[in-house]
Amino acid sequence: MSRFNQPLGGNDMPRFAGPGTFMRLPAAQTAEGLDVAFVGVPMDIGTSWRPGTRFGPKAIRAESAMLRPYNMWTRAAPFEALQCADIGDVAINTFDLKDSVRRITAFFDDLLGHSVTPMTMGGDHTLSLPILRSIAKKHGPVGLIHVDAHADINPHMFGEAIAHGTPFRRAYEEGLLDANRVWQIGLRGTGYTAEDFDEARGWGFQVVQAEELWLQSLSPLAAKIKAAMGDGPVYITFDIDSLDPAYAPGTGTPEIGGLTTPQAMELIRGLAGLNIVGCDLVEVSPPYDPSGNTALVAANLLYEMLCILPGVGKG
Ligand code: MN
Ligand code: MN
């Protein structure tokens, strides 16, 4: 009998029933005593094209019901080493993006008063900025692994400084990032100018465009990132639109020519051993995801990120 919370198993309660938490873990009211807290940020008022990510956390939790505790390739056994629970959703103000950003930071400031690693389900990518504000208060400027079709470094969108296409410019400007330890992976598509991805290279970011990765294993890239990151704190932000729309159609701003699901798994698995202080998985839009596949991929990638957290051993 483990001393840690376990996901509710399919032999104890049918998988289509039981609690609606991530992996049917126990729900918790606070992060007291937790090593890992799954959090939902049900927000889509920062999106610029298709909305719907407000339903993301609920759909990811629903698809996570089929996940079992052990990773059958890496043999990771997260629930033998970490006390995990789902602490529910941030009560965003769906009528006010700026107030929602303040509410997210307040929630994470409180959460990070405990020694817990947040695993966040989005929600649109705006949410990474308020989380990074809290993370940097606790850990200082962090290394960032940003997997996305988009750079999300617009100076503004429709005149607004805060939106889902601006968080990493704001994070850079505010000193939340260790700019020489920032990797943007999977960028592609069309831009407003041909230099759109170059400005951040000038800030020190490493930018790996999707075309460089076509038809390749991502294990060598993961090894390179690991070597460059060293022992310092690292935050992982994973936009589901980094994947090709063939694998993850349910998202707001899809771009063709993206990563495959196995490439995403290779990348995450190859990052085991880093000093990861938080992760998010964003931009799942269930109204555009009729099969549920996008939320299923998202739930699995969150699980893969759980499996590489510090302290997780093999079963
Ligand atoms: Mn994004
Ligand atoms: Mn994106």
Which bound ligand lies closest to the C-alpha atom of 237? 1
Distance 57 CA to ligand 2 centre (A): 17
Q: Take residue 212 and report the two structure tokens written for it.
A: 């460089």
Q: In what order do the strands lie in the sheet with 206-209?
A: 84-89, 36-41, 117-122, 275-282, 233-239, 142-147, 177-187, 206-209
Q: Nearest-CA neighbor of 302 among 63, 75, 106? A: 63
Would you say 97 and 126 are in contact if contact means Cβ atoms under 8 Å apart? yes
Q: Is 28 helix (H, G, I), strand (E, B) or coil?
A: coil
Q: Nearest-CA neighbor of 312 among 128, 81, 74? A: 81
Q: Nearest-CA neighbor of 17 among 48, 62, 52, 60? A: 62
pTM of the model: 0.98
Distance 149 CA to ligand 2 centre (A): 5
Distance 187 CA to ligand 2 centre (A): 8
What was the pLDDT predicted at 2?
Answer: 79
Question: Which residues in the chain land under pLDDT 50?
Answer: none
Element (H, E) at 298: helix 293-306
Distance 166 CA to ligand 1 centre (A): 9
Distance 37 CA to ligand 1 centre (A): 22
Q: Which fold has domain 22-307?
A: Arginase; Chain A (3.40.800)
Please give the mean pLDDT across all residues of the chain.
98
Task: Count CA atoms within 13 Å of residue 260 on its CB side.
Answer: 9
Phi, psi torsion values for 150, nearest 5 degrees: -120, 150
> Residue 291: which residues within 8 A CB-CB, separation 6 or more?
none
Residue boundaries of the structural domains of the chain: 22-307
Q: Is the peptide bond before 9 cis (omega within 30 degrees of 0)?
A: no
Would you say 88 and 41 are in contact if contact means Cβ atoms under 8 Å apart? no
Distance 311 CA to ligand 2 centre (A): 30
Distance 75 CA to ligand 2 centre (A): 31
Which bound ligand lies closest to the C-alpha atom of 186? 2
What is the number of residues in the chain? 315
Which bound ligand lies closest to the C-alpha atom of 252? 2
Distance 32 CA to ligand 2 centre (A): 33
Distance 124 CA to ligand 2 centre (A): 9
Distance 298 CA to ligand 2 centre (A): 14
Would you say 252 and 49 are in contact if contact means Cβ atoms under 8 Å apart? yes
Q: What is the DSSP letter of 268?
A: H
In the chain, which ranges are E strands? 36-41, 84-89, 117-122, 142-147, 177-187, 206-209, 233-239, 275-282
CA-to-CA dists, residue 157 to 151, 166, 205, 243, angstroms: 13, 7, 22, 24
Distance 248 CA to ligand 2 centre (A): 12
Q: At which residue do the structure tokens 């990348």 appear?
A: 267
Distance 184 CA to ligand 2 centre (A): 11
Please give the Cα distance from 1 to 265 (Å, whole number): 30
Which bound ligand lies closest to the C-alpha atom of 167? 1
Which bound ligand lies closest to the C-alpha atom of 248? 2
Distance 292 CA to ligand 2 centre (A): 19
Task: Count CA atoms within 13 Å of residue 75 on its CB side.
Answer: 3
Spell out which residues have Cβ within 5 A of ligand 2, the ion: 148-150, 239, 241
> Residue 10: which residues within 8 A CB-CB, separation 6 or more?
66, 68
Q: Nearest-CA neighbor of 23 among 56, 66, 80? A: 66
Dihedral, 201, 207, 210, 211 alpha carbons, nearest 10: 60
* 147, amino acid identity: V
